[in-house]
Amino acid sequence: MKKIEAIIQPHKLDEVKEALKSGGIDGITISEVRGHGRQKGHKEVYRGMEYDVDLLPKIKLEIIIPDARLDEVTRTIASTARTGKIGDGKIFIYDVLEAIRIRNDDTGEAAL
């Protein structure tokens, strides 16, 4: 099994979520996070004062999937979240050793 963590732009959330849902991905955890990559934030003017905004709002998606679906799901996220501009985000992939459904003790891919 694999864990996919994707950091995306907030305005792309609904589009990515619908693409995953239509692809048969049911389980997803979504968090509102803040951070920056190469863009290092930006400057904003508020009441005549200039401020550095170095932590930008982002969305983090966490999905656990069977190994066989890795390429399909990462392609779906990347193509749907892409705007072509700096700050589009990143996708991270981790190995998952085990999954256990608390309700009935299903394990492995059956727990997904």
pLDDT-derived band at 40, boundaries 50, 70, 90 = low
Q: Which phi-psi region, left, alpha or beta, contains residue 47 (left: φ > 0; alpha: ψ -120 to 50)?
A: left
Q: Is the pLDDT of residue 3 over 80?
A: yes
CA nearest to 71, candidates 17, 4, 15, 7 = 4
List pLDDT tens digits, range 20-35.
999 999 899 999 999 8
Domains in the chain, CATH or no CATH each: 2-111 (3.30.70.120)
